[in-house]
Amino acid sequence: MLDAVRMAARDSAGMESLGLPPRNLVLGDWFKEGDLGFIFAPRGIGKTWLSLAISTAVANGRRLGPWQAHGGWPVCYVDGEMAVDDMLGRMAGMEAGPNFTTLNHEALFHLSGRVVNIAERETQQALTDYCLETGQRVLILDNLSCLASGMAENDADAWEAVLGWLLTMRRHKVAVILIHHSGRNGLMRGTSKREDSAFWVLRLDAVDEDKAGNEKQARFISRFTKERNSGKPQAPLEWTFQTGPDGLTRIGHKEADKLALFRQWLDAGLNTAGDIATEMGVSKGTVSKMAKAAQKAGWLASDGRKYTLVS
């Protein structure tokens, strides 16, 4: 190992002389090859809708909302929850194409009697080998609760066993996106250590009081809670997914209503301008202006320091 350290330890000029290529963009200016990313939301809001939309856009070199895919990247989507017929319907609706491969839990069990468990070394090695031998460049894991059986979500040490594998995938320049659930506090469920090695984290929330989506449609807001590739703020977006009579899924998007986002943070338990400004990535003055608009609309009260929703 000492010889390897001596060989690799270099100054900046020495590192440049290696000729290692920079990481290429995959989608927009925020998703690059080798990334570890998370998409999280409460149950039924639209995690699978958005993750499939990202996957099929990347696989086919298409645009998704404001984000253009940079070429077609082979994608493997590991589905630990949906029934085969539901997954087939979603894939057809988004015109997945041959560059998109799915590993469905029902199909795997039907053919082999095996299950995917990324908490186990055997599964990790199998997925690594499969991606490398077939040229997969993006691996989607939907979702962590179904695909990591027996792993204590709040145990940072338990996560280390999975993190080591994810870092190996990064070194092979295979990007991994993990889909997960929100906790009751609105944050991603389980240990916060998961986010330390992530390049980006996308949070999804319902629009106003909309109920959960279904197999035909969904509506939600996405916003980054972490994003370190682009070097600039990413606007929160409101998405609509609607499957028509022809079976095709129409995807709409627009910049999210900041007043609606303000109300969501109040619903999540934040009640001061400073805390809300931090989460929204805006100034306290901007939050104060939104609060005045909400007071004028009649659904917010303020004692000068804290905000309270009015029923």
- Convert the pLDDT of each residue in 251-295 to its tens digit: 999 998 888 888 877 877 788 888 888 777 778 888 888 888 888
Distance set, CA 135 to CA 58, 127, 131, 237, 298 (Å): 14, 12, 6, 32, 56
Structure-token match 């070429």, residue found: 71
The span from the CA of 102 to the CA of 96, in Å, is 10
Quick check: 252 and 239 in contact, CB under 8 A?
Answer: yes
Domains and CATH numbers, the chain: 20-256 (3.40.50.300), 261-309 (1.10.10.10)
pTM: 0.88
pLDDT exceeds 70 at position 199: yes
Q: pLDDT band for position 180 (50/70/90)?
A: very high
Instruction: Compare 200 and 182 and report the one with higher pLDDT.
Output: 200
pLDDT exceeds 90 at position 245: yes
Quick check: 305 and 272 in contact, CB under 8 A?
Answer: yes
Q: What pLDDT, on the 0 to 100 scale, is given for residue 273?
A: 87
Quick check: 291 and 258 in contact, CB under 8 A?
Answer: no
Helix (H, G, I), strand (E, B) or coil at 272: coil
- Which residues on adjacent β-strands are paired with residue 227? 200
Residues composing the chain:
311
Element (DSSP H or E) covering residue 107: helix 105-112
Helix (H, G, I), strand (E, B) or coil at 89: helix
Query: Nearest to residue 61, comparing CAs of 22, 28, 92, 21?
Result: 28
Q: pLDDT band for position 212 (50/70/90)?
A: low
